[in-house]
Every structure is written in structure tokens, then in C-alpha cells.
Amino acid sequence: MKAMKERLIVIGNGMAGARVVEEILKRTPDRFDIVMFGAEPYGNYNRILLSNVLNGSQAATEIFMNPLSWYRENGIKLHAGVRATRIDRERRVVVGAPLRREALAYTVDAASDANAALVEEPYDRVIIATGSRPFVPPMEGFGGTGTFMFRTIDDCARIADYAKDRKRAAVIGGGLLGLEAARGLLTHGVEVTVLEAAPQLMAVQLDPEAGDILRKTIEAMGIRVLCNTITTRIASAGSNGTSRLTHLEFKDGSSLETDMVVVSAGIRPITEIATASGLTVNRGIVCDDQMRTSDPAIFSVGECVEHRGQLYGLVDPIWEQTRVLADVITDTCLDSAYLGSKLGTKLKVMGVELASMGETKPASPTDEVVIYREPARGLYKKLIVRDDKIAGAILLGDVESAGILMQMFQGNMKVPTRRADLLFGSPKGVSLLNVADLPDNAQICNCNGVSKRQIADAIQNSGCQSVSKVGACTRAGMGCGSCKSLVAQLLESYLGEVGYDPTEHYYVPGIPLEKSQLVAEIRNRGIKSVSEVFQQLADGKEDPASKVGLASLLKTLWPGEYEDERDARFINDRVHANIQKDGTFSVVPRIYGGVTTAAELMRIAEVAIKYQVPMVKFTGGQRIDLLGIKKEDLPDVWKDLDMPSGHAYTKSFRTCKSCVGTDFCRYGVGDSIALAQKIERRFQGVESPHKMKLATAGCPRNCSEAYVKDLGAVAIEGGKWEIYVGGAAGGTVRKGDLLCTVSTHDEVLHYMGRFMQYYREHGKYLERSYGFVERVGIETIRQILVDDSLGICERLDTEIQKAVDAYRDPWQEAILPAYPEQFSGPELAYALEVAENNG
Amino acid sequence: MAEKVIAPVVSLGSVSAIPLGQGRCYVVGGESIAVFRQRDGRIFATNSRCPHGQGPLAEGLLGNGKVICPLHGHQFCLETGAGSVTTESLQVFPVEEVNGNIQMNLESVHA
């Protein structure tokens, strides 16, 4: 018989509560029967993004982190909309009261549903993660019509709804949350005034000068700011039913007319349940370094906690608390301890980037203060150095060095003697940071939140000897990839070297061959389908993660002859459209060189109306994107558009932008439009290791951004064209390298085709042209493709011509689908109805 | 009069309605189910949505008893439902091919 699991009750279903459960499940998926209480009637959402919900840039549904199905799938019993009121430590049960749907979940006196029975859940361990509630400064009249707090999804809805027919809104609180609320209100078309009691904005994070710069930037956006302003009374007119807010009265006797007021003046821990249950409570629920309260069976985590006299309201320290607590409660790491955090934060307030850590002003005359200011651009940088270490820093407007400063600050590291390097980077580009000096809890991968300790553990205890192994084990480097060099540094410092991992060089993970070996095998054996590759080169073991790369390679190797198995394609390439987060697709028809006609635009408009397309958007590639199309509608949309596919969904030639060139521009020296159209007609749909985005520019002013494209042609004086390769302006920004300078459009097409074919043959799968050009080197590429040092140019020219000849508009599959179910939606299955007639 | 009852076994129609090596979405008793037909003939059934970002799993890449979600590449074992991220998993439903038709037990869906 199965042993009884321990019962763990988590009180609070906010960010800390859900995170600690995730951390526990990660360590021991089966140890506990978990029950959660959440006062809000939802799953768990990212409260940090609430200001986006208020300003309409994100839907409330987009900020959910754990939908209700997550609880079900992990066997967690969630009491949503139930507030835990007491822990009966004698009987070892947690008692909860269901709240009325309209109750403000976080208020002390949230109305319970009188008809609903109390909930009781027995426990072995409890975690209190009740978080905090908005702080309302003492004033008269708060709670009446038109007064709001800003803490939950429901608050956002209430504020947005009320703001609809109002003209003026006031926000009490000029800190981070207050400014976020003000930004949100601005988008609802009301005049916004921010009221701050202190003499400056964001007094916790900024010094007075930075506060002043921020204030000017914010005022320039149309928000009024009143500092030194303490609200004493919210005044209303009219009787109960029709009462409306009229104005605010201030301590200095002045007043402000307004239609609504949002109070967002800080937060206070929610501790009633701890008090009611006899636990030690000071400002917050008092916890030790293992996040244990005064009762060893009861733990606490998050904003409700007081640890070594300190409260925390930022996400990083709280994530660390959840990790420690999970280590302790699952017995997976008994000496795990939370020792407090040095506070630093990097954030964006109303579009202004700022970073702040530690102290904002010097504490003694021996403290060294380094300041750089550039008021015209709203830049301010300040550093407080004590004993060669960072005691505090403020960055406003330019936060590029924030990451390094934060690592040094939190690691209590010695800083370089040239302080300017800290604010502007080293002039020699030498990294200021030695990753080995970082503290164990330093976050290395910012995308997936992986700490140095976790990476060290993977290297030392799980035997990971390469960057990709560390990535597979910890997810470090699996997001944007920019931390891979730090991971490599860590490998070197722990192992002395970065291990050689042959799998890193495999073309696809499922076939143990590098690209050149794989190409040779495929050519020699005449393999023309993906399933055949698995049969012959992988003992018949199909690897789904390898299918797409193999399909791309086979199509490049056997243009026109390749046996196209559609299951080996990514969904985008099965249906020739780009899948979106909600499972709908985007449709981008080809518009050669970005030049369209009135008739084409009318057809696009008619399609948008007929199919009720939710969004019609101009793309960066000078085309029009129809977003939110259902898979079943794709063939009809294409037929009605009567335009060829723009291939905006696949690893291939995408588009060629152009400027207006010589047709109308006063400066144009080359016909960039005609060239772009020729390029696009020739290379449309040509498959490649990654996407290729092109542009032509009629002069070196580069309006079409040809210098930063995978391939670009730029007209220069004297009737010549420069051809650039390996440019990038995405996550990586790189100016392309000059391949050669030629005289005619035909020559441009010729060299571009040659480069594409060389890249198609030698680029690693998913390697963009900029990585490829850097890896091979422009000198080598120029020797091969221009000087023909290897004698392969003629063959390359022939091969790319074959690829061009094999082009077929994939949207013709609207008329003749590749297979019957290509565009089918969900199929309804009915249970068989049978007559029960046997008795 | 004979009473009509819903049989626990549902036919999803011919197995050939799922392209070889792909998945397809079915609505069974109000629940959305993804059914997969691997190239080696094995068939699997799971919830149709990825627990991570609600991606349509029937549109994913399939092979070796695994499916890869098309939105963010999270992987799932089709035999056990276990995900590549340990906190994520799918429900798997017993499904079989009978005379060229796919049959699944409705009770398992609502269990």
C-alpha cells in the first residue's frame, strides 16, 4: 500500500505562493499532497505586469502564469476565492472562509460569503505566502465612489471601467507603483495628476537630482506632478446613490478638482492569519534563515515575511526565498539558508529606464561620489564607492552597465580604479567582470533565471562539460543565448577547459554527424526523404527535433527531386503561414520590393473585412500582415488575395526592401526599386539554414537599411553597386561586410545568388548569415566567391539556378492541397448511440 | 421504448484521416483531444493543449513517442505524458486502432 503523503497547505496563491510550489515540485514531485488557498478567484498571475493590463498593452489573460489546469495537472487542490483565516495549531487544520465574488481580496474586512460553509484542511506543514496589500495613508473619505486601489486584475478592470467617462484622475503616490498607475490611466484619456508627499519622485530608489530629471521627463509626457503634497480629505457631492467625487483637499489648504483617485502609495504585509494563529509578527511575519516562523511546522515566504528585520517587495529576493524554502521543506538541501538580499532593481517607469541599488546618497565624507549628468537627454549616472566597493548606484536613461554594477554590488566586489569604466564600460572593451568572482547566487541566465550555483552544480555534480550540456540540464543559455560566454567562462574556471562535446557540432541532434559528413552520406546513399535518413543513419530511430533541419537540408541538396514528407515540416511550413500564440496564423502576401498597387490594397482590404481579420499590420519588411487567421480559412484567404506567398513563416529568402531610389528621390544614384523587385522575383522561396532578409538602397544614406541585412546592395556614385553580406539588425546588430562592388543589376543578382548557395551548403542549421560570415571570415568568403580560389563558383551558380527553377508558389496548395487534411480544423467525434434493449 | 445510452467507446473514424507522422485534433465529448499517428503505426492520444502556453499539440512535430509543441518547443512523452519541463505533464488517453478505425474510451476522458 502506498504510504500516506505529507499534507502541505500553501496560504496565498500569488507569485510567491505559486513559485514555491513549483520549486517544491521540481525537487520532489510526489512528496506532498498540496492544497492552496487563494483569496482571488483565479489561478496565479504576474502582478508585475498589472500596469500593462491597466494601460491596455496586455490582456488580463496574457499575464496568467499558472492557469487553473496547472493546478489540476499537478494534483494541487486550489481553493480559489477562499481566504484562509486561521491556523488551528492544536488540531493542525487551516480554516478558510469563501469570499463573496465582488469582495476586494486583500482588504482586512473582505466580505465573506455568509451562506458558504467554512473550509477546513488538515496539515503537516504550512507555508504562509499572503503577500501584501496597498497602503492607504490616513485621509478622510477613502472608500467612497471614485476611489480605488491598484493591486489586482479586478482593480485594473474597475479603474479602467470608471475612467471611461471621466476627465480627470489623481494618483496618490509618486513611487514606482504610483507612476505605473499614472501611466496606465493616461491611456484611458484622462488628465492625470500625481501627488507625492515627499519632495521628490521615487524617493526610495532615486536621489533628489535624479528624481527631478525623472519628473521633467514625466511632465513632458503630459502628467502633472505635485510633490510635497499630502492629501487629507477626499470630498464628494450628492447623496449616497448618486454621490460623486469632486475634489481633494491637501494639508497646506490647497485643493485639486478630480473625478477619481487611485491610491498607490506603497504596500504593507498581510499578517492577520499569523497573528490570529499566535505566530510571532513584527512588521511582517518573522522568519529565520530557513524561512521558518516561530512554529517549526509553519513557514512563510514573500512580501509578508520579515527576515532579519527586513521586508522585501522585489521579485529577485523573493525568488531566492522560495528556493531556500523548497530546499528546506523537501529536505533536499538541509544547509540551504537565506541570508538576506542587497537590494537593487532595474526597471522601466513610463518608458524611462532606470536602475538603482544600495544607498542613494553618501553616508560619510570619505565616500567617493562619481556623477555624470546630461540633462538634455535625461541621462544621470551616480556611483557611491566606499572602500573600493559599490555602496550604491543610480542609473537613469541609460542602464547598459546596470547588469555588471549589480553583480559587483551584490557580490561585494572590488571595483576597477578607473571609475568611469563602471559607468561607460572599458574603452578597450575588456570585460570588467570575472565570472569566477561572482557570488553563488548571481543570476547568470536572465531569461530562465539560472544562478551561478545551479550552473556550478550542473558542472561539478551532474557531469556537464560543455555549454550545451549545461543548457540541457539547467536551461541556462536556452533563451536569448547571450549568457553562453559566461557559462563557458564558468566551465573553464571549474574544469580548466570547456569540454569538447561532439554533439554540439552535429547538424541535427538525432544524427551523429557533422554537416559535411551528413551531406556526404546523403549524397553517396542518394537519400531523398527524412524518414529514409532515420532508417539509414539512425537505426530507424525517428527524432522529432531533427526532422525540420533534415527536411531543409534535403530540399537544398535535391532541388526538385526531394521526397517531401510533410510530417517532417514545422507547422508553419505545412500550412505556409506563421503560427501565433493563440494557434491562429498570420498571412503575409508577397509585395515585390515593397511596391504595391491600389487594386492590390483593395483586395487585401476586402479579405480583411470578409474574414474579420483581427489585426492588419505593416511589417518591417515593407509588406502587410493579416494576423489571426484560422487554419481552415487559409486556402480561401489566399484564393481571395490572389497574390503569391511572402514566405514570412519559413527559413528561406524572405523579402527585399527598397528605398524609392531614382524614381522620385533627389539623392538616389541607383535604381533600387527595380533591383529589389528583380532580386525578389529571382530568389523568392529559396530555402536556407535560416531566414534571409534583404534590402537595396539607392544611395549610401541607407534608408532601406541595406547595410544591416543578410544581403544588401547599396548604390554608390559612378553607377556602381556595393554588395554587403552578413548584416543584422535583430537581437544582434552588425553592419554587413563588403563582398564586392559591381556595375549592373545582373551582377548583383549573380553574386548574391552565389553567396546564398555557399551559405545554403555550409551554414549550420539555424545559423544566420551574420554568424556564418563571422565564422568563415569575409576574407575567405571573398576569395572563394569572388576570386574563385576553390574553383567552385560555376557549380554554385548552377546549383542556385536549380533552386530558383524549382520555385513554386506554396499558396497554390489552396487549389490543390498537398494532402486532404492539410488545412482541417478540429474534428467532432460523436459517441455512438446504441439502443439498450437487452432486458 | 428502448432507452438510448451513450456507449463508452467512441470511434474517431478512419486512421487514415490523420496524415502519416502527424497529429490531429478531435473534440470528444466536449473535450479537445490530440491524436497522433506515428510513422511506425503507433497511435497516441493526449490533451490537445500544451500546459505551458496552450499551444496546439496536434500541430507539433512527432516521432519516437514524443511530440514537440509548435509554440515554444516544450516536449512531451506520449506514452506517459511526462514533459521536458518536470512540472509540466499531459494526460494520456488509451486509444487503439480497430479495423482501420481509431477507438478511444470516453470514460477515460472524463475520469
Look at residue B10 and tell me if it is in a domain. no
Asked if A567 and B21 come within 8 Å (Cβ–Cβ), the reply is: yes
Q: Cβ B67–A544 below 8 Å, yes or no?
A: yes
- How many C-beta neighbours within 10 Å does residue A115 have? 7
Region A342-361: mean pLDDT is 83
C-beta atoms of B12 and A827 within 8 A: yes
Whether pLDDT at A168 is above 50: yes
The alpha-carbon gap from A261 to the nearest alpha carbon of chain B, in Å, equals 36
Contacts of A316 (CB under 8 A, 6+ apart): A341, A345, A443
In a shared domain, residues A628 and A698: yes
Q: Are residues A774 and A655 in the same domain?
A: yes
CATH number at residue A175: 3.50.50.60
B99 touches chain A (CB under 8 A): no
A587 touches chain B (CB under 8 A): no
Pair A88, A161 in one domain: no
State the amino acid at position A254 in one-letter form. Answer: S
Expressed as residue numbers, the domain containing B83 is 18-110
> Residue B31 maps to which CATH number?
2.102.10.10
pLDDT of residue A750: 96
Give A281-298 pLDDT, tens digit per residue. 999 999 999 999 999 999
Residue B22: per-residue pLDDT: 96
**A707: amino acid identity, one letter:** Y
What is the distance between the alpha carbons of residues A22 and A66, in angstroms, rounded to a whole number? 10
Chain A residues in contact with B90 (beta carbon < 8 A): 73
What does pLDDT average to over chain B?
86
- The verdict on a CB contact (< 8 Å) between A832 and B17 is no
> Which of B25, B61, B87 shows the shortest C-beta gap to A25?
B87
Residue A451 lies in a domain: no
Secondary structure, 3-state, A336-390? CCCCCCCCEEEEEECCEEEEEEECCCCCCCCCEEEEEEEHHHCEEEEEEEECCEE
SS3 of residue A167 by DSSP: coil
Q: Which member of B9, B28, B63 has the closest CB to residue A542?
A: B63
For residue B41, tell me if it sits in a domain.
yes
Q: Are residues A226 and A98 in the same domain?
A: no
A543/B7 Cβ within 8 A: no
pLDDT of residue A837: 40
Does residue B11 belong to any structural domain of this protein?
no
Q: Do A829 and B26 touch (CB under 8 A)?
A: yes
How much is the pLDDT for A61? 79
pLDDT for the residue A482: 59
Please tell me the distance from the alpha carbon of residue A545 to that of residue A509, in angstroms, as a whole number: 7
Taking the Cβ of residue B6 and every Cβ of chain A, the question of whether any pair is shorter than 8 Å is answered with yes
- Contact state of B2 with A836 under an 8 Å Cβ cutoff: yes
CA angle, B98 as apex, B94 and B103 as ends, to 5°? 40
**Given a cut of 60, is residue A806 above it in pLDDT?**
yes
pLDDT, mean of residues A641-662: 94
* Inside any domain, residue A577: no
Angle (deg, nearest 10), helices A598-610 and A634-641: 150
What confidence score (pLDDT) does residue A835 get? 38
A830 within some domain: no
Residue A3's pLDDT band, with cuts at 50, 70 and 90, is low
Confidence tier at A491 by pLDDT (50, 70, 90): confident
- CA distance from start to end of chain B: 30
Closest CA to A537 of A525, A545, A554, A548: A525
What the block records as the C-alpha cell of B55 is: 499551444
Give the pLDDT confidence score for residue A830 in this predicted structure. 63
Q: Are strands A711-716 and A692-697 parallel, antiparallel or unpaired?
A: parallel
A816: in domain = no
Q: In this structure, are A692 and A562 located in the same domain?
A: no
CA distances from A206 to A342, A393, A430, A499 (A): 16, 9, 30, 45
The predicted pLDDT at position A536 comes to: 93
Which residues on A lie below 8 Å from B56 (Cβ)?
A: 579, 583
Contact criterion met (CB below 8 Å) for B85 and B69: no
Q: A706: pLDDT confidence band, cut at 50, 70 and 90?
A: very high
How confident is the prediction for chain A on average, in pLDDT?
88
CATH number at residue A672: 3.30.413.10
Say which residues have a Cβ less than 8 Å from residue A195's Cβ, sequence separation at least 6.
A170, A171, A172, A173, A174, A226, A229, A231, A248, A250, A256
pLDDT digits 0-9 by tens, B47-90: 999 998 899 999 999 999 999 999 988 899 999 999 887 788 99
Average pLDDT over residues A574-590: 94
pLDDT score, position A833: 46
Whether A755 and A656 share a structural domain:
yes
Angle, to 10 degrees, between the axis of helix A315-329 and the axis of helix A15-27? 40
The yes-or-no verdict on residue A475 having pLDDT over 90 is no
Q: Name the residue with higher pLDDT: A448 or A279.
A: A279
For position A501, what pLDDT does the model report?
62
Beta-carbon separation of B75 and A545 below 8 A: yes
Amino acid B77: pLDDT: 95
A30 touches chain B (CB under 8 A): no
pLDDT score at A498: 62
Say which residue, B86 or A743, is predicted with more confidence: A743
Mean pLDDT score, B81-102: 88
pLDDT category at A836 given cuts 50, 70, 90 is: very low
Q: Are residues A649 and A775 in the same domain?
A: yes
| pLDDT score, position A421 | 80
The tally of domains found in chain B comes to 1
Query: Is A533 near chain B, with CB under 8 Å?
Result: no
Q: What is residue A310's three-state secondary structure?
A: strand
Q: What is the mean pLDDT of residues A736-757?
A: 96
- Could you tell me if residue B55 is inside a domain? yes
Q: Is the pTM of this model over 0.80?
A: no
Which of A347-356, A370-379, A591-600 is least confident? Answer: A347-356
pLDDT band at A497 (very low <50, low <70, confident <90, very high): low
**B53 vs A: CB within 8 A:** yes
Is the minimum CB–CB distance between B108 and chain A shorter than 8 Å?
Answer: no
Contact status, residue A576 vs residue A559, Cβ threshold 8 Å: no
Same domain, A602 and A732: yes
Specify the pLDDT at position B2.
46
For A192, the domain range is 147-265
In A, minimum Cα distance to B37 occurs at A567
Residues of chain A positioned with their CB less than 8 A from the CB of B17: 821, 827
Residue A445 near chain B (CB below 8 Å): no
The reply to whether B81 falls in a domain is yes
Answer whether A829 touches B (CB < 8 Å): yes
Can you give the pLDDT at residue A403?
74
Contact B59 A571 (CB under 8 A): yes
Query: Amino acid identity, residue A284?
Result: G
**Per the CB < 8 Å rule, is A833 touching B51?**
no
Q: Does A571 touch chain B (CB under 8 A)?
A: yes
pLDDT digits (tens, 9 = 90+) for A180-207: 889 889 888 899 999 999 999 999 899 9
* Residue A625 and residue A762 share a domain: yes
A791 lies in the same domain as A659 = yes
Q: Any CB–CB contact under 8 A between A492 and chain B?
A: no
Residue of A20, A25, A74, A567 to mutate, interface with B, max B Cβ within 10 Å:
A567
One domain for residues A600 and A748: yes
Average pLDDT of the residues in A453-482: 80
**β-strands A32-38, A6-11: how paired?**
parallel
Cα A28 to Cα A24: distance, rounded to the nearest angstrom? 6
Q: Which has more confidence, A502 or A633?
A: A633
* pLDDT of A834: 43
CA distance linking residue A782 with residue A760, whole number of Å = 16
How many domains are contained in chain A? Answer: 4
Quick: pLDDT tens for A233-278: 999 988 766 788 999 999 999 999 999 999 998 899 999 999 999 9
Nearest C-alpha in B relative to A29: B87
Q: Nearest-CA neighbor of A175 among A134, A142, A233, A145?
A: A134
Count Cα neighbours of A189 within 13 Å in the Cβ-side half-sphere. Answer: 7
CA nearest to A543 within chain B: B63
* A826 with B70: Cβ contact below 8 A: no
CB atoms within 10 A of CB A730: 12
Which residues in chain A are contacts of B103 at CB distance < 8 A? none
Question: Cα–Cα distance between A123 and B21 in angstroms, integer?
Answer: 48
Q: Name, in order, each residue with C-beta under 8 angstroms of A711's C-beta and a sequence gap of 6 or more.
A: A692, A694, A723, A724, A725, A727, A736, A752, A755, A756, A769
User: At A678, is the pLDDT very low, low, confident or very high (cuts 50, 70, 90)?
Assistant: very high
Is A487 within the bounds of a domain?
Answer: no
Number of Cα atoms under 13 Å in the Cβ half of residue A624: 20
User: What residue of B is the nearest CA neighbor of A68?
Assistant: B51
Q: Which residues contact A657 (CB under 8 A, 6 or more apart)?
A: A593, A594, A621, A622, A676, A693, A694, A695, A696, A704, A705, A706, A709
Q: Is B99 inside any structural domain?
A: yes
Percent of chain A with pLDDT over 70: 94
- Judged by a CB distance cut-off of 8 A, whether residue B12 touches chain A is yes
Contacts of B13 in chain A (CB under 8 A): 827, 829
Can you give the pLDDT at residue A1? Answer: 42
A518 has pLDDT over 70:
yes
A334 vs A336: CA distance, rounded Å: 6
Element housing A96 (H / E): strand A93-98
CB contact under 8 A, B19 and A825: no
Contact yes or no for A426/A401 (Cβ under 8 A):
no
Tell me: do A793 and A734 sit in the same domain. yes
DSSP string computed for chain B: -PEEEEEEEEEEEEGGGSPTT-EEEEEETTEEEEEEE-TTS-EEEEESB-TTT--BGGGSEEETTEEE-TTT--EEETTT-BBSSTT-B--EE-EEEETTEEEEEHHHHH-
Is the pLDDT reported for residue A839 higher than 60?
A: no
Residues of A in contact with B49 (CB under 8 A): 69
Looking at residue A55, its pLDDT comes to 82
* Look-up of cell digits 471611461: A164
**What is the per-residue pLDDT for A499?**
60
